[in-house]
Amino acid sequence: MSESNGTTVYRVLEATARRLTERPALVAKHDGEWRPVSWSGYLENVRATARGLMALGAQQGKGVTILGFNRPEWFYADIGAIAAGAVPTGIYTTSTPDQCAYILEHCEAPVAVIEGPQYLDQILSARPECLRWIVLMTGTGRGEGVITWQQMIERGQAVKEEELDARIEVQRPDDLCTLIYTSGTTGPPKGVMLSNRNLTWISQALINAYTIGPEDNVVSYLPLSHIAEQVVSLHAPLLVGATTWFAESIEKLGNNLREARPTFFFAVPRVWEKIQAGIQAAGAQNPPLKKKIAAWARAKGLAGGYAEQRGESKPFGYGLANKLVFSKVREKLGLDRARICATSAAPISLDTLEFFLSLGIPVLEVYGMSEVTGPGTFSLPDRYHSGKAGFEIPGAGLSIASDGEILMRGPHVFLGYFKNEEATRETLDDDGWLHSGDIGTIDEQGFLQVTDRKKELIITSGGKNISPANLEARLKEIPVVAQAVVVGERQKYVAALLALDPDRVEAEAKAAGSPATDTASAATCPIFREHLARQVEGINKTLASYETLKRFEILPDELTVESGELTPTMKLKRRVINERHADAIGRLFA
């Protein structure tokens, strides 16, 4: 790869700051104005933070937890903890007090850095004995050991620069560098141990694959407690010197994208689905002529996208479609400069992929997991296939076991699970292959197709093995369906729970001739249900007879992280869903 393969995360920052000095590294909005932090300023802030954390008792090999929305202080705390020899550990802002306490205690964190007083109750209400200090990035708060960011920095002035340098000097590439706690679809979360080498190697692989340079920029807005966001907006920019802009909030992401105009944009499927719904809602208001032009352009876009995937020329008229429609859509989204648009973390429907492809915006799928430091495959602008999850990363290994399980090997594979040797042995074999727990295939072109979770296959009473993830992805191709949960373990047939997209219900109902105006009225309206049943039947016609969905129930609300039905990375928590909607599931098989 490069010399990054033999260095540490802190040394990466040091080298980039020395090379780029006053170029912008981080950009955040203060009092309505975007303000940059230079690379030299970034390094200075990290060192001040590291000394502050040392003054508060941050120890080598022990955790420093970070909870909050994306902002420069999150980065300072993360790399500052690494510089101090501690282990940064992100906590999702949606975590319950018990979940916070579990992680704090498990990683033995003496310090928790949180965004502001709004998160104090989450930490204080179940505070473990190991936690001595809580640092607020913004604002002030009350409680034992609760201090402001500035107070931490001031305490750090008592720590000599030489003391910090001594801790940095002993760090090695294969040392534990950060902990990523899995979102836990079943049981308590596991601490994924990532080394300096893991993080620098995957960052260099990403940079090489997508030719990222100092002139590039990204917008940081997804949870930084997830490894995908850390690699995209923290570690890869750190290595190459790209600029990271911080969104003000998820709600303001649209405006922030138009202001930052990123060259690399990563989003989980739900974000792409929300953008799709917004474009479709706006398009529905257009006059007839504009709708015709858009339909013509989208047909050219879809044909052109698939031609590109086959290595063929785009159809005549594609350039005009780009000028009339695609370029205007990209500009309105703030993606007019985006060379790379990517997605990962959860399955995405072919409908959404083809929607953006039809607008001249290929969304590149990446397969991965925390245990391989984020990406396990890449898709490139000149090598991608809609509905396939990319191909083997150069320098790493990708294989399919005899039972269909996806295996990965390489410098990006984690060190193991923190304090859990048994789980580590179950996941890493003696030859260094990581057993993903996912089922998939690799086609003749080397593209990976993920079909299901190994432990989530449904076995009907007739003995048929059925992939719920595959069926759920197909059901999400129905525009009004936001989420689908396929059930049928030990039953004669399979059925589904469907959650509707509230932003699409009214328009879909109107098209069906239904008087329904929201999810509740749609769920009980015979006209709407019949309309939805016809769309489900259309999918059934493409399935094997034993896979066909015999019945469905409409859920009263979308599944959410807050309700405990989804992980923070939007994966289904099937046990929770089955318990919470036991009555509805019972009706499906009555």
Cα torsion at 63, 65, 71, 72 (round to 10°)? -30
**The CATH number of the domain covering residues in 3-247:** 3.40.50.980
Residue 210 CA to residue 382 CA, distance in Å, equals: 10
Residue with tokens 């879909």: 508
Chain-centre distance of CA 30, in angstroms?
26
Q: Which long-range contacts (CB under 8 A, 24 or more apart) does 421-425 make?
A: 423/190
CB 398 within 8 A of CB 408: yes
Which residue numbers in the chain have pLDDT < 70?
A: 1-5, 183-187, 461, 464
**Of all helices (H) and strands (E), which one includes residue 54?**
helix 39-55
Confirm whether 3-247 and 457-588 share one CATH topology.
no
What's the token pair of residue 238? 């750190």
How many CA atoms does the CB half-sphere of 69 hold within 13 Å? Answer: 16
Residue 106 CA to residue 121 CA, distance in Å, equals: 19
Q: What is the pLDDT of residue 2?
A: 42
**Of all helices (H) and strands (E), which one includes residue 246?**
strand 243-246
The domain ranges of the chain are 3-247, 267-365, 457-588
What's the token pair of residue 91? 């906590």
**Of all helices (H) and strands (E), which one includes residue 202?**
helix 196-210
Q: What is the pLDDT of residue 455?
A: 72
Residue 496 CA to residue 530 CA, distance in Å, equals: 15
Q: What is the pLDDT of residue 184?
A: 57
457-588: CATH topology:
GMP Synthetase; Chain A, domain 3 (3.30.300)
Q: What is the pLDDT of residue 245?
A: 98
Residue 239 CA to residue 123 CA, distance in Å, equals: 33
Residue 217 CA to residue 206 CA, distance in Å, equals: 14
Q: What is the pLDDT of residue 187?
A: 65
pTM for the full model?
A: 0.85
Q: How many helices (H) and strands (E) does the chain have?
A: 23, 28
For 349-398, give the DSSP string. Answer: -HHHHHHHHTTT---EE--EEGGGTEESEE-BTTB--TTS--EEPTTSEE
